[in-house]
Every structure is written in structure tokens, then in C-alpha cells.
Amino acid sequence: MSSLPLTLSLFAAVALLLWGSLWGSFLNVVVYRVPAGLSVVRPRSRCPQCLTPIAGWHNIPVLSWILLRGACASCKAPISPRYPAVEATMAVLALAVGMPWLPSILDANPMPWQPVVAMLGEQAFVFTWLAIALIDADRFEVFDALSLPLPIAGLGLAAAVGDLRGVPWQQAGVGALVGGAGFALISWTYGRVTGREGLGLGDAYILAGIGALLGVNALPAVILAAAIQGLLFVTCTLVVRRRATVLAERGLASARHFALPFGPFLVVAGVQWLLLHRWLGTAVALWLPQ
Ligand SMILES: [Zn+2]
């Protein structure tokens, strides 16, 4: 693989960060409005406290929050630091997902469409995954409007640029089937054995999408990573809670009823695979001086 000039690499990296932060800004809108059944297009963003429309120069990702010191410009109501955090996260992820594609996008003239489609497709997946994870963490709900299109989009991406991404359509198709059907089966068995509903069908859609984007080979590692990180999170949370609870009895009682959505952990594991799988080798080769 060839190496890009450093200035071009830096310029492209900054462009990807800005691009990602715009997605992040829209992500906040989606997470806030989709569960409420509101349009994500209009009206334009308002302060939830005083309903004043947010001016363009007060709606710059991350930067506006810092300049406004985390408060609404008109009513001074505090704005949650989650908004700039989501914008910054999406910016960094857009960069991390895009960087391995930069050499093949920028090194050819004219610019080839395949790596551009592959990069945009992966970024759109990360965007939708984050929306699903944030809403699931907030409300214990996976919205079909977000999770159902992913398996289809993954198959479309595989048909268009599957070989370039290393996930040909056969792998994507089997991945979607195994992810969806396999998880639905696990969920059904879990329900029959324990007599309660633990894993929702929403998680099956998420996993079908992961299988379609990353291929069937990625599924065992992604499920394992999600389960391990979910267990670690539960354990840490329980330890902290038990210490915080004065009455040990109460702490144990709440521990037994501790529930956690699995979707966010599936998303985290999916992003980890997407990045680690290709990122390490390609990005290191791109940024190391020749
Ligand atoms: Zn306000």
C-alpha cells in the first residue's frame, strides 16, 4: 500500500472529524426525537427549557457547548454534557472508521466510488448503532425503525463493495441469518427456561445487522465480547451500589432485580470488531513515516 503525504493525511483527518461531529449533532436529535415519535427534520433544534430555537452559531458541535459554558444562550438552563460527548464520540469514530479507507480514496484519480461507499456505509452503521445504544440505555427499548434497516443495509453494502470490505455477500447473508435466527432462538430458550423475558427481539435485529455488516465469522467474537463486557459492567455497578447502600439487605434485594439492556454492549462489541479488524494494520501503515 502506498502512503499519502502528511499534509493531505492531516487535512483529510480534520475533514473526517468535522464530518463526524455533524453526524454527532444529528445523532443527538435522533436519540431525542425518534422515541418521542417526532420528526428528525423539523422543527429546528430548540432549548427544551425555554423552547427558543437554537441559532446556527450556537449549534456548532462541541465548540458551542464549550463557548456557552454548557448553558442555553437565552434562559441559561444547563445543557447536558452528554450532547458534546456524543458529538465528540461520533467525530472520533468517523475518523477511526474512515482512516483505513483514505489511501484508496485519495491516492487514485479520479476518486474511486467503491471505497467512498464502503467508508460512508460503515460510518452510517456506526451512527445508527450509537442511536440504538443510547435509546436502549435510556429507555430499555430497541426501535425497529433503527434496527430493522441494518440487516438490509448490510446486505446492500456487501453486494456493492463486499469484496473490497472483506465481507462478500455470502458471508453477509449467512451472518444476517445466523445473527437474527440464532439470537432469536437463544432469547426464546432463555425465556422458556427462566420463565421471563430477558433478551428482546430487538437484540436479534441488532445482531442480524452486525452479522450482515461484519460477516458470519465475526459473530462468535462479537457476542462473546458483548457478554463479557456486559457482565463486567453489571459486576462493577453492583459492587459500587452495594457499597453505597447503607442497608446491606436492601442492596442485595436491588441486586436481584438488576436489569440491563444488552443492545449497547452488542453495539460496543460491533464497533470494536469493525475498528480492530482493519484499523490496526492499515492505519499504522498509513501514519508511520516511510
Ligand atoms: Zn433555554
Residue 177 in domain: yes
Residue 61 in domain: yes
How far away, in angstroms, is 34 Cα from ligand 1 center? 21
How far away, in angstroms, is 54 Cα from ligand 1 center? 9
Of 254 and 124, more confident = 124
How far away, in angstroms, is 116 Cα from ligand 1 center? 39
Domain range enclosing 279 = 6-287
How far away, in angstroms, is 29 Cα from ligand 1 center? 16
Note the pLDDT tens digit of each residue in 197-239.
666 678 889 999 999 999 999 999 898 999 899 889 888 888 8
Has residue 21 got a pLDDT over 90?
yes
pLDDT of residue 9: 84
pTM: 0.85
CA-closest candidate to residue 100, choices 20, 12, 163: 12
Instruction: Please tell me the total count of domains within the chain.
Output: 1
H or E element, residue 27:
helix 6-33
Residue 186 to residues 18, 96, 194, 215, Cα–Cα distance (Å): 41, 33, 12, 19
C-alpha cell, 64: 458551542
How far away, in angstroms, is 73 Cα from ligand 1 center? 6
How far away, in angstroms, is 78 Cα from ligand 1 center? 8
**Phi-psi region at 62: left, alpha or beta (left = phi > 0; alpha = psi -120 to 50):** left
Residue 1 in domain: no
Lowest mean pLDDT among 31-45, 91-105, 243-257: 243-257
Residue 263 to residues 206, 209, 226, 237, 290, Cα–Cα distance (Å): 7, 12, 9, 17, 41
Has residue 246 got a pLDDT over 60?
no
Has residue 120 got a pLDDT over 80?
yes
The pLDDT-based confidence of 98 (bands split at 50, 70, 90) is very high
% the chain with pLDDT above 70:
86
Has residue 96 got a pLDDT over 80?
yes
How far away, in angstroms, is 135 Cα from ligand 1 center? 23
The pLDDT-based confidence of 256 (bands split at 50, 70, 90) is very low
pLDDT of residue 264: 92
Residue range 65-84: average pLDDT? 90
Of 191 and 98, more confident = 98
Note the pLDDT tens digit of each residue in 31-58.
999 888 888 887 778 888 888 888 888 8
Residue 109 in domain: yes
